[in-house]
Structure 1
């Protein structure tokens, strides 16, 4: 691979992951218009075809049984990587625009803004949110159950 192909792949992989994640979360419509603007160099009919393929993928993912979602999302990501890398190979100047569509990278440091946590379909689940490393210590995490008596 030449450097431009590697650059295209380096941008396409996180972008594909972000798009697939938005589709899985139900945020596809918000991202759809941004991607339409991104694909604009190929002309209106090509943009519509790209979006039609992505709409079909999103609908398939939305209608899938829960046990099939991970596999479908993985296949979608693979297809998106190829689709986005091919586009970036044709239009290398679009790399910055694609990067702008992606969520900000997480470097492990807390952000200045408020944190947001979304937990869906988690009946009887425990959610832990931390702003940095989480250390359970030697006693582990107590889930509200009294510790066992080792002598019992």
Structure 2
């Protein structure tokens, strides 16, 4: 298996795209679990490292600094590759984790959910409503 193409690149793509979304928490928690390999102190360190990486991605994206985004992706790719060099048996776990966080690009293997909650006041009464949009894969 070519870890760079099969695991590292999709993981970096998922992380960089999730950095500005609520998907970050789930993806980060999954990676922390994999990276820590059951060691609580390692889990804390891995979580802190990923959170700092997220902050850097957000800052670079907010400032439209594409060069910095690409450098951050390269650094993250190196970190994941080094982890896989030490623990190649974890490649499948990372691949499975990031499959659920792929971007919606219209391909048949993507699923996208959006849930919006609205609260409004009407004559002094709070009214709450939900709007759920689900784009499921096509049957083709």
Q: Same fold (TM over 0.5)?
A: yes
1:24–1:73 CA contact under 8 A, matched in 2: no
* 1:80 to 2:76 alignment: yes
Alignment of structure 1 residues 76-115 onto 2, 5 Å: 76-103=72-99, 110-111=108-109
More strand by percentage: 2
Q: CA deviation at 1:27?
A: 2.6
Q: With structure 1 as the length reference, what TM-score do the two structures score?
A: 0.58
Q: Matches of 2:29 and 2:112 in 1, distance apart?
A: 26
TM-score computed with the length of structure 2 as normaliser: 0.62
The number of residues matched between the two structures is 112
Summarize the Cα distance change of 1:84–1:108 in structure 2 as closer, same or farther, 3 Å threshold.
Answer: same
The unaligned stretches of length 5 or more in structure 2 are 115-136
CA distances 1:100-121 after superposition (whole Å, capped 9, x unpaired): 111367997535x87668xxxx
